[in-house]
Structure 1
Amino acid sequence: MKRQKRDKMERAFARGYQAGLTGRSKELCPYQSVDVKMQWLGGWREAIDGKITGLFNK
């Protein structure tokens, strides 16, 4: 059975989340499309909120 690629929006969210966890700036978003960029920023914001509330050590 073939594995399907994940949705582009889901992938953008996950990459934004990882960027937020590593402390990257939101200005470094690699996407130009508005919808995909919003997903990336949503992931980034969620990771930053998690860091602020103490969910992550670093």
Structure 2
Amino acid sequence: MKRQKRDLTSRAYVRGYRAGVSGKSKDICPATAGESRQHWISGWRQGRSDFWDGYQGISNLHCTPNLP
């Protein structure tokens, strides 16, 4: 658990993904500059892509099959 809290870049990505899949604007990014902002924006872009593809939230990701 402590290691997860230390990895700020993955936390930024996940939070950006959650914002994107929820349909929120990228203007709400909490980071102003740096690596955290880049990862947040990357997560947001992936989340928006999934949102446009029909995902309605994080819980739907567990139901999708893993295709090779």
TM-score past 0.5 threshold: yes
Structure 2 gaps of 5+ residues are 58-68
Deviation, 1:57, is: 3.9
* Counterpart amino acid of residue 31 in structure 2: Y
Offset, 1:19:
0.5
- Over the matched positions of the two proteins, sequence identity in percent amounts to 33
In 1: Cα distance, 2:30 partner to 2:19 partner = 11
> Which residue does 2:26 correspond to in 1?
26
4+ residue runs of structure 1 moved beyond 4 angstroms?
none
Aligned amino acid, residue 33 of structure 2:
S
Which residues of structure 1 form unaligned runs of 5+? Answer: none
Task: Output the aligned Cα RMSD.
Answer: 1.5
**How far, CA to CA, are the matches of 1:28 and 1:57 in structure 2?**
19
Task: Give the alignment's TM-score, normalised by structure 2.
Answer: 0.70
Q: For 1:12-51, what per-residue CA distance to the aligned partner results, in whole angstroms no more than 9, with x for missing partners?
A: 0000001011111001100023211010000000011112
* Aligned positions, number: 55
AA aligned opposite 2:50: G
